[in-house]
A and B are shown apart, each in its own frame.
Chain A
Amino acid sequence: MHVVDVLSVTRRFGAKTVLKDVTLSVERGEIFGLLGPSGSGKTTLIKLMTGIDKSDEGTVRMLGEQMPKLAMLQRFGYMAQSDALYQELTALENLQFFASLYGLSGSRRKERIQAAMKVVDLLDHLNKPVAAYSGGMKRRLSLAISLLHEPELLILDEPTVGIDPVLRQSIWNELTALKERGTTIILTTHVMDEAEKCDRIGLIRNGELTAVDSPEGLKSASGTDSLEQAFIVLGGGVRA
């Protein structure tokens, strides 16, 4: 069974069509990347998958259930594009809050907070106010929050944007480790070398999904030796 099924989905905002007839499936246990420039519709597609937004045409299924559905919000972990954290509160208070929203309480909550913060290596900074966190620490804290309820599916919107190479490497190590434990990961990116690390990539441009394949598959299909070239060829060539 697919983890996420998107079937001929179209989404319009007013007169503007943001997604045009998109169809794709995400397999269990893979890292699936959505690659495209900003404004191409990646975030909209993510929002449709999570059920935050509703498509105008077509259907979205997550774990077999038709979206949007409130109960499904418990089943995935989500990391938004912006660091949605409460600056005045400490990291611990942020974690406690979100953990409670996912129904965790008592010693189980404490245990999960410790575990999630260990994954992102922030255990020493648990009691610091988030306002004192650096940009990279905030991204890692956001990731820790998405891991709190041990979801089988992780949906990450630009998880490494604005992060230095060392930190990016460490986040990718964490994602790979999660994948090995059986977590399915869907992420968006506009960085080519990051997309190389995904098992499969969906190329998205102007609201259209132009190709879906593994990085190697995309390169050979386009007859190029870099993902950037492949993106240009498969996306309909260079635009003036």
Chain B
Amino acid sequence: MRTRALAIRIIRQFLRDKRTLALLFLAPLLVLTLMHFVFNGQQVKPHIGVAGIAPQMYESLNIKDANLTSYDNQKDAEKALKNGDLDAVFSIVNGQPAILMEGSDPAVSRSVILVLQKALQVNLNVPKPNVSYLHGGEDLSSFDSFGPVLIGFFSFFFVFLLAGVAFLRERTTGTLERLMATPIRRSEVVGGYLLGFGVFTLLQASLIAWYSISVLGMYMVGAVGLVLLVNLLLTLTALTLGTLLSSYARSEFQIIQFIPIVIVPQVFFSGLFNLDAMEPWLQKISYAMPLYYGADAMRSIMIRGEAFSDIQLDIFVLLGFSILFALLNILALKKQRAI
């Protein structure tokens, strides 16, 4: 009953605080929408200058994926490159094709090479390979690819922040001390927080998942129920971790200081970036990061359509993290009351 009373109180406080509600529910949607527009737009056509190539050769290049400009000589083309009008200059020197890159953006450089290779291949009459996909497809954009990770990340991040600050405020305003002078058990305090915040995190997880899939049209072939389950577990981990760490913060500002230490490293190890190039022993750090398991499970469900049995390890590890952090929370409350 005391757990329920605490949960009801947290829910009531939450409903009074419109701005925090907005942060929890609207901020993730806003950021996801921005991400959607940034990474899901039309493919960028590189600007390529072509210098010193015979007209018939120029025609036969027949490049559709780039904006081509013809220059009379190499010098003019290089000048345009320097001015920032071009991304690359393509020329043929002594019968040998040559590309001069602007080079400051590796993504653009790669797309220039891709476009020119494609064009030269066609001209060499090499048969085009038939490409088929095991997962996803030709249309899978980068937003689709890391979207599932983002869904998990935003749920994690905002809940971590809110839970941390809420619990800290309970301590700094003296209400926690007052709470601990009632017959409530330490486990009931942690349970009440889990229950009260749990209601909102469940709503948040559902909203983010629905918005990403139905409104932003994120690629999704798995079960919605599983997405919600993983998201909920991820937010429970964030909730227990946030309240645990807030025991070691003296102010809201010190909660913010946990972001570069606790949140940002998790982003790097969450699968947003390919870790294969990293030292193998460094890669193992990801095993200690809750977001790694959440992101892995979200990707498996949404892109590869995997079932519960395929991702159960991720689910159990997340559950384990939550339980571990909750128990540590109960222990940390001993700082507030001897029993």
Listed in ascending order, the chain A residues whose CB lies under 8 Å from chain B are: 50-54, 68-71, 73-74, 78, 80-89, 93, 96-98, 100-103, 105, 129
Residue B99 interfacial (CB < 8 Å): no
The 6 residue pairs across chains A and B that have the minimum distance between CB atoms: A84-B178, A100-B5, A54-B338, A82-B174, A78-B181, A73-B183
Q: How far is the CA of A149 from the CA of B183 in the complex (A)?
A: 12
| Contacting pair A98 B182 (CB below 8 A) | yes
Which of A68, A82, A93, A101 is within 8 Å of B338, CB to CB? A68
Q: How far is the CA of A151 from the CA of B338 in the complex (A)?
A: 22
Which of A68, A82, A88, A89 is within 8 Å of B339, CB to CB? A68
Q: How far is the CA of A84 from the CA of B6 in the complex (A)?
A: 15
In the complex, chain A residues whose CB is within 8 Å of the CB of B16: 88-89, 129
Residues 180-207 of B, flagged 1 when their CB comes within 8 A of A and 0 if not, give 1111110000000000000000000000
- Distance in angstroms from B266 CB to nearest chain A CB is 31
- Which among B6, B179, B182 has the greatest number of chain A C-beta atoms within 10 A? B182
Residues 1-36 of B, flagged 1 when their CB comes within 8 A of A and 0 if not, give 110111011001100110000000000000000000
Q: Which B residue sits closest to A52, measured CB to CB?
A: B337
Q: How far is the CA of A71 from the CA of B184 in the complex (A)?
A: 10
| Contacting pair A53 B13 (CB below 8 A) | no
Q: How far is the CA of A107 from the CA of B179 in the complex (A)?
A: 23
Q: How far is the CA of A105 from the CA of B4 in the complex (A)?
A: 12
Residue B43 interfacial (CB < 8 Å): no
| Contacting pair B9 A103 (CB below 8 A) | no
Residue B173 interfacial (CB < 8 Å): yes
Q: A86-B13, A88-B16, A89-B16 are in contact. Are A101 and B183 (CB under 8 A)?
A: yes
Residue B123 interfacial (CB < 8 Å): no
Main secondary structure of the interface of A (DSSP, over half): loop
In the complex, chain A residues whose CB is within 8 Å of the CB of B175: 84-86
Q: Which B residue sits closest to A88, measured CB to CB?
A: B16
Residue B177 interfacial (CB < 8 Å): yes
| Contacting pair A103 B1 (CB below 8 A) | yes
| Contacting pair B173 A101 (CB below 8 A) | no
Q: Which A residue sits closest to B188, measured CB to CB?
A: A101
- Distance in angstroms from B153 CB to nearest chain A CB is 29
| Contacting pair A89 B338 (CB below 8 A) | no
| Contacting pair B185 A70 (CB below 8 A) | yes
In the complex, chain B residues whose CB is within 8 Å of the CB of A98: 182
Q: A53-B338, A73-B183, A84-B175 are in contact. Are A93 and B9 (CB under 8 A)?
A: yes
Q: How far is the CA of A73 from the CA of B9 in the complex (A)?
A: 21
| Contacting pair A51 B174 (CB below 8 A) | no
Can you report 16 A-B residue pairs in the complex whose CB atoms are below 8 A from each other?
A51-B337, A52-B180, A52-B181, A52-B338, A68-B338, A70-B183, A71-B183, A80-B174, A82-B174, A88-B17, A100-B2, A101-B2, A101-B179, A101-B182, A103-B2, A129-B16
Q: How far is the CA of A87 from the CA of B175 in the complex (A)?
A: 10
Residues 321-339 of B, flagged 1 when their CB comes within 8 A of A and 0 if not, give 0000000000000001111
**9 additional contacts (CB under 8 A) given A101-B182, A103-B183:** A70-B183, A80-B174, A80-B181, A81-B174, A87-B173, A88-B13, A88-B17, A89-B13, A129-B16
In the complex, chain B residues whose CB is within 8 Å of the CB of A101: 2, 5-6, 179, 182-184
- Which among A73, A102, A129 has the greatest number of chain B C-beta atoms within 10 A? A73
Q: How far is the CA of A73 from the CA of B336 in the complex (A)?
A: 14
Q: Which B residue sits closest to A97, measured CB to CB?
A: B9
Q: Which B residue sits closest to A79, measured CB to CB?
A: B178
Which of A74, A82, A93, A105 is within 8 Å of B183, CB to CB? A74
Q: Which A residue sits closest to B15, measured CB to CB?
A: A88
- Distance in angstroms from B5 CB to nearest chain A CB is 3
In the complex, chain B residues whose CB is within 8 Å of the CB of A81: 174
Residues 94-111 of B, flagged 1 when their CB comes within 8 A of A and 0 if not, give 000000000000000000
Q: Which B residue sits closest to A142, measured CB to CB?
A: B178
In the complex, chain B residues whose CB is within 8 Å of the CB of A83: 174
In the complex, chain A residues whose CB is within 8 Å of the CB of B12: 88-89, 93
Q: A69-B339, A74-B183 are in contact. Are A82 and B2 (CB under 8 A)?
A: no
